[in-house]
A and B are shown apart, each in its own frame.
Chain A
């Protein structure tokens, strides 16, 4: 995809998909999903060098791992609209016998998913493992991953971050959805993260700050910068400052929509703010 307008239309449709998925089953996580709509759209439409003809081993292609699995609605929408599976299947989200489980899973064989996530804090290790295999295989392609900021409170992340830093896993670009919110409130109230930049740097990572994590150009530039930094003996992390609930006025500036679906009226208002572009499923 080339023009920014085209990509913006894609993002808007993804926002509609997120809202409609969670509304239909009155459950799921719109907040983080909406905040990462630009990230997923740029990644899958422009950055990932990967085949939609899904193969679990993903040899000679880029890989992506979603560690904060609760934002499955944005993942599913972007996978479907990028050609991994029929867009119509978004109708089955969280329903019995669906491949679109509440949290992403390999168990039901959804194309695009290479590891289950949902229990937080495990994806960083998996992404590093996959990056190590790429090196063993002499595969030059990259591994991308996404993590929640609250999720970084899990200690396993720091075991993984320490490993990747000290072993120079430089074919990994991890991104943190730095929305400063989690279930019980602001991360600063729940368990302050302190300076993530300083923490990652102390573990020998290269850190890129994206102040406007909901700006397409800013994300494009961050990925360019990150790719240019690969192969330099350091893993790379993008601290992506996003707005939870971005694109829906009443879902922003609060953690309330982390895991709550809109009712009929709220859906109508939210969809009016994100007019149909590519056609609803």
Chain B
């Protein structure tokens, strides 16, 4: 079993900030827009370094998406920054028509995704954004798992031509992927090799999946752990190969089980290699106020619940 070391917990949004700062220096076409959440999105450094390429739009997300779409015309690469809820649900039709349908090179960067936003509560905790974004034709959808991966993804999406939704979060989580990794859009990362069960995880649930694999190992169960950072386009081959090897799957995500990674995996398997699957995800509910850890426990989004679902799905083989 491979061991992964937490090199110091950090928030994924800071990975975004660090990536954007680097991009500011290396790519003069990168521009950034923010809707009154500069500090929360960790865009301060980019703003300080390149005031002429930073656009404070005020609390007006719909306008921000439209401005970004317009700025692509003439060659800029706009990165918009606000919370995940206001990056998606709030501006869905602006994204649909002016960005996705129009094929514009806008990078929609969304922090405070999911339930780990914590105390602010359900109005701010979107658990539907992956579904909303993956349904848009041509949209690339990425949900990163730690600081290093988020930083690498931020840089990679600037080099990719087309609309992207990049989802990350607020809490400090284990930082364990390589510091100077190359981020390949659409390519799954194989974290553990095993033959009894596959855990396919995205975002904050990836570290929990590794933790679950350790606990399963102690029970004599070997686990294939795959990090799907790109929900769309999905690395179908990686999923099918793992399913063939283990014969059962647990998907894990900080999202509603309707519309998320789990459903994309289920569709892939139904089509190519029908396999028993269990879902670690929220069960069609809104979130609520609480600390991130309390909420992950209450809504069954942690290593403990991955282990339970793994044992359940193994029994279904």
Contact = CB atoms under 8 A, between A and B. Distances in A.
Given A96-B289, A101-B288, A107-B122, A182 B36 contact: yes
Contact of A119 (B124, B286, B290): B124
A98 B290 CA distance: 9
Interface in A97-126: 97-98, 100-103, 105, 107-108, 116-121
Contacts of B123: 69, 101-103, 105, 116-119
Residue from B34, B59, B60, B120 whose CB has the most chain A CB atoms within 10 Å:
B59
B302 to A, nearest CB: 15
A151 B121 contact: no
Nearest to B297: A96
B118 to A, nearest CB: 7
A189 B36 CA distance: 11
Interface string B94-129: 000000000000000000000000111111100000
16 contacts: A96-B288, A96-B298, A97-B288, A101-B121, A101-B288, A103-B121, A103-B123, A105-B122, A107-B122, A118-B124, A150-B36, A150-B58, A153-B60, A154-B60, A183-B39, A187-B58
Contact of B39 (A94, A103, A184, A191): A184
B119 A191 contact: no
Contacts of B286: 107
Contacts of B63: 155
Contacts of B120: 27, 102-103, 118
B38 A184 contact: yes
8 closest A-B pairs by CB: A191-B58, A118-B123, A102-B121, A96-B290, A153-B58, A101-B121, A102-B120, A27-B119
Contacts of B58: 150, 153, 182, 187, 190-191
A28 interface: yes
A94 B36 contact: no
Interface size bracket, A side: 20 to 34
Nearest to B37: A183
A27 B34 CA distance: 23
Contacts of A154: 59-60
Contacts of A105: 121-123
A191 B57 contact: yes
Interface of B: 34, 36-40, 56-60, 62-63, 85-86, 90, 118-124, 286, 288-291, 294-295, 298
Contacts of B289: 94-96, 98, 100-102
B43 to A, nearest CB: 10
Contacts, number: 96
Contacts of A108: 288
Interface of A: 25, 27-28, 69, 94-98, 100-103, 105, 107-108, 116-121, 150-151, 153-155, 182-184, 187, 189-191
Nearest to A119: B123
A191 to B, nearest CB: 3
A273 to B, nearest CB: 25
Residue from B86, B121, B290 whose CB has the most chain A CB atoms within 10 Å:
B121
A100 B123 CA distance: 13
A150 B60 CA distance: 10
Contacts of B124: 102-103, 118-119
Given A184-B39, A191-B57, A191-B60, A119 B86 contact: yes
Contacts of A96: 288-291, 294-295, 298
Nearest to B83: A119
B121 A94 contact: yes
A153 B59 CA distance: 5
Contacts of B34: 184
